[in-house]
Amino acid sequence: MGLHRGNAGRRRGAAVIAATVALAVAAPVASAQAAPAAPAAQTAAGPSGVRAKGAYLLDNSANKKLWSKGPDTKRQMASITKLMTAVVVLDTRGVNLNKKVTVKQAYLDYIRTSGGSAADLKKGDKLTVRQLLYGMLLPSGCDAAMALADTFGSGSTTAKRTKSFVAKMNKKAAALGMTRTRYDSFDGISTHGANYTTARDLAKLARHALGNATLRTVVKTVDTEQKAPAANGRTRYYYWSNSNKLLGSYNGAIGIKTGTGTAAGKCIVFAALRSGRTVVGVLLGDSNRYPDAKKMLDWAYHTRTTVTWRKLPAGAPQD
């Protein structure tokens, strides 16, 4: 299996120091318009034309499978891995989301050597656990993921702590019944190709993740400004945009996580809420992931939706 190397040329989330900075406001995106429900004959067999190698569609409200394609074949998942990183952090007993974490040089060195996508953290800045979750899940920051793994792992060194954190990820996967999933990294950059899952397993993880109010809030956020104490005593402003283009484009979209890698291809775990009904979808190895996600959601909701896809701000990661 090929390595997942978060695109070395990928543009990164911006961070600037300022005394006062006005929050940049993204241009409004046209609201999605729902057309009349599709005839039953068109919706009976499942959504047509989905290109993914692996796919799964779940009625989250009823915990019922709606449709799947190659649901149990093991595949690499790239940065979708970070969803489990978030779950392990948030499921930690007594987790303090306001705990301050100091950014280490090791996190920045890791980005440079791995080529992973970044939240553009700066050495010496102090971010809260909650802020690191935003930095990890919106711009898909591998530096933020490492900071969380280092903080919530155990051991005397960063290497030992991050390794122990990955062990916690595998323990959580087993507890959730993700029997065909294995993690060898905290962010999806797999050095040995032993970081894999299935579409069915990811649907289980997504269902569990959506049960956490903090995670739901983070993954449905389109853009955020976060300020943190900088190493020089001033204030650092971080601006992060969500790499998930369903948000702000598809009516009712509420997350969850994108991923892109050499071996994994383009992936997404997504969810939407309409009329009190939550639907979760998974696409692994899909070059057409956003239109395919729309097809799956429209099929599940028995509708046809017109979408104007949100454009990410200049410089935002394209995970």
Active-site annotation, residues: 79, 82, 140
Residue 142: C-alpha distances to residues 23, 82, 108, 132, 260 (Å): 24, 9, 9, 10, 13
| Residue entry with tokens 């994108």 | 258
Task: List CB contacts of 206: < 8 A, sequence separation 6 or more.
Answer: 58, 60, 83, 256, 269, 271, 280, 282
Residue 3's SS3 state is coil
Task: List CB contacts of 257: < 8 A, sequence separation 6 or more.
Answer: 79, 80, 82, 83, 137, 140, 219, 244, 268, 269
Taking every pair of Cα atoms in the chain, the longest distance, rounded to a whole number of angstroms, is: 64
Nearest to 272 by CA among 220, 225, 313, 310: 220
